């Protein structure tokens, strides 16, 4: 696998560095194992990880004690990884391969903690210290899209790439539906199609220098839900360029002008993006 173009979210990078510290401090062999990654996730306590740490029954002290009981290097199948500064087990290498495959499957550009958690569980490397209930809880809380909320009181539009963003008109319907259908899903394209039956669809599009659509975002269009932002999508080649950020804030500005105090961000996949872009927080499960 070519790791040169693999990118990680800021939270994921912290988890990786903290996992290295766990291995260096609490492991006899100073070798990074899957349990170090899991401990680092529990200690992060931001995003959905704080919710997971509260609702899982794992005792970190016991996990660290398990590390100290391993004193035979041959039992660990030690290797190296370009992602870490210390040796890792073959299980860790496998976990990262699977996490990266999840990122690509979901058409995303950054490996995040959800990809890691799902890889830790589906590769079965956590079976020795996670109960069935904990695995199900983690999959539900940490590896699925989550609704988020952001406060719009006193909202001020930040600096964005406004010159490439505009609101849709009736002439955009066919091209936008085709763009969404090709790059995302039938459900999203049907949502967009239905939105054009409204007198003024609350949808913004981003255009490249050839006036071709490279992204879109809408609000109050998904199943007629009010105060609801989404869906939003940007073509893969235009991500990490501020297009999504600009689309998001054009919608939030309009929502604030309508008088909405809060915006619900539905089924957010890139949680850290929304945390940074508009101070959104994950809505906890009851």
Higher pLDDT, 224 or 125: 125
Predicted confidence at residue 259, as pLDDT, reads 97
- Within 110-260, residue ranges assigned H as helices are 113-122, 132-142, 173-183, 186-195, 243-258
For residues 101-105, average pLDDT: 95
Predicted confidence at residue 29, as pLDDT, reads 84
- Tokens 């049907």 belong to 190
Q: Is the pLDDT of residue 101 over 70?
A: yes
Do 214 and 176 meet the contact criterion of CB atoms below 8 Å apart? no
Domains along the chain with CATH numbers: 10-144 (1.10.1780.10), 150-282 (3.40.630.30)
Tens digits of per-residue pLDDT, 35-62? 999 999 999 999 999 999 999 888 899 8
Confidence bin at 174 (pLDDT 50/70/90): very high
Predicted confidence at residue 75, as pLDDT, reads 64
CA quadruple 50, 52, 58, 63: dihedral positive or negative? negative
Range with lowest mean pLDDT among 63-72, 183-192, 215-224, 238-247: 63-72
For residues 26-39, average pLDDT: 92
Confidence bin at 73 (pLDDT 50/70/90): low
For residues 131-157, average pLDDT: 95
Mean pLDDT value across the chain: 93
For residues 75-101, average pLDDT: 94
Task: Express as a percent the part of the chain with pLDDT over 70.
Answer: 95
Helices (H) and strands (E) in the chain, counts: 11, 9
Tens digits of per-residue pLDDT, 224-270? 899 999 999 999 989 988 999 999 999 999 999 999 999 999 999 89
Alpha carbon of residue 19 to chain centroid = 20
CA quadruple 264, 265, 267, 271: dihedral positive or negative? negative
123-133 core/surface letters (b: 16 or more CB in 10 A; e: else):
bebbeeebeee
Predicted confidence at residue 1, as pLDDT, reads 52
For residues 216-231, average pLDDT: 96
């Amino acid at each position: 696998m070519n790791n040169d173009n693999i990118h990680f979210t800021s939270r994921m990078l912290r988890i990786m560095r903290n996992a290295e510290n766990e291995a260096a401090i609490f492991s006899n062999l100073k070798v990074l194992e899957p349990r170090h990654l899991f401990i680092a996730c529990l200690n992060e306590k931001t995003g959905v990880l704080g919710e997971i740490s509260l609702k899982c029954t794992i005792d970190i002290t016991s996990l660290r004690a398990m590390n100290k009981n391993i004193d035979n290097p041959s039992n660990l199948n030690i290797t190296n990884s370009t992602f870490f500064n210390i040796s890792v087990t073959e299980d860790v290498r496998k976990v990262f391969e699977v996490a990266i495959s999840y990122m690509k499957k979901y058409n995303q550009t950054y490996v995040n903690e959800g990809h890691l958690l799902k890889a830790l569980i589906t590769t079965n490397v956590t079976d020795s210290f996670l109960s069935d209930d904990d695995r199900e809880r983690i999959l539900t809380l940490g590896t699925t899209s989550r609704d988020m909320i952001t406060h719009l009181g006193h909202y001020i539009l930040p600096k964005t790439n406004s010159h490439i963003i505009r609101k849709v008109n009736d002439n955009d319907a066919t091209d936008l539906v085709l763009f969404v259908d090709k790059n995302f899903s039938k459900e999203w394209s049907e949502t967009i199609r239905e939105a054009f039956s409204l007198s003024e669809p609350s949808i913004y599009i981003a255009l490249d220098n050839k006036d071709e659509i490279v992204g879109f975002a809408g609000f109050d269009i998904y199943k007629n839900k009010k105060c609801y932002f989404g869906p939003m999508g940007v073509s893969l080649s235009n991500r990490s360029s501020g297009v999504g950020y600009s689309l998001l804030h054009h919608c939030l500005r309009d929502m604030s002008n309508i008088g909405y105090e809060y915006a619900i961000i539905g089924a957010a996949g890139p949680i850290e993006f929304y945390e940074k872009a508009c101070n959104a927080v994950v809505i906890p499960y009851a």
